[in-house]
Amino acid sequence: MSAGAHDPLAGFDATVHAPNRLRVCALLDTAGEAEFGLVQEQLGLSASVLSKHVTVLMDAGYVEQRKAVRDARQRVWLRLTPGGRDAYRGHLAALRAIVGPPDPVFRP
C-alpha cells in the first residue's frame, strides 16, 4: 500500500481551497443542485466573480451546469460531479487533519 493511501493530507485540493470555491462546493454538497442566481445570492458574490470560480471548478471537472428555461428565461443550475463531491469531501478531511482534534483544555 502506498504512503499516500494513509496520508490524510493527500486530499488537500488547491482548486477547492480558494475561499469562494470552497463555499460554492459546500453549498452544492448540501443542496445537491442550485440555480446560479441562488448561489450568487447565498454567497453574496457578483455574477462575474461567481462565474469565474464556477469556470475553474468546471474546468477541473468538479461542477457541471444544466441550462433550462424557467419563467420564460434561461436559467443555469449548478451541481457537483461525483468527482467534485469526492474532491470537496477529501479536502475537508485534509483540513481537519491539518487543524487536528480540538484541544479539550483550550477554551476561548
Give the least confident one: 4-8, 28-32, 58-62, 71-75. Answer: 4-8
pLDDT at site 66: 95
pLDDT at site 2: 42
Give the CATH fold of the 14-95 domain: Arc Repressor Mutant, subunit A (1.10.10)
- Mean predicted lDDT score pLDDT of the chain: 89
* Region 60-89 average pLDDT: 94
Confidence tier at 76 by pLDDT (50, 70, 90): very high
CA dihedral angle for residue 82, residue 86, residue 91, residue 93, rounded to 10 degrees: 140
Please tell me which residue, 61 or 98, carries the higher pLDDT value.
Answer: 61
- Using the predicted structure, report yes or no on whether residue 73 has a pLDDT greater than 90: no
* Residue 57: closest CA among 41, 80, 35: 80
* Residue 75: closest CA among 38, 31, 29: 38
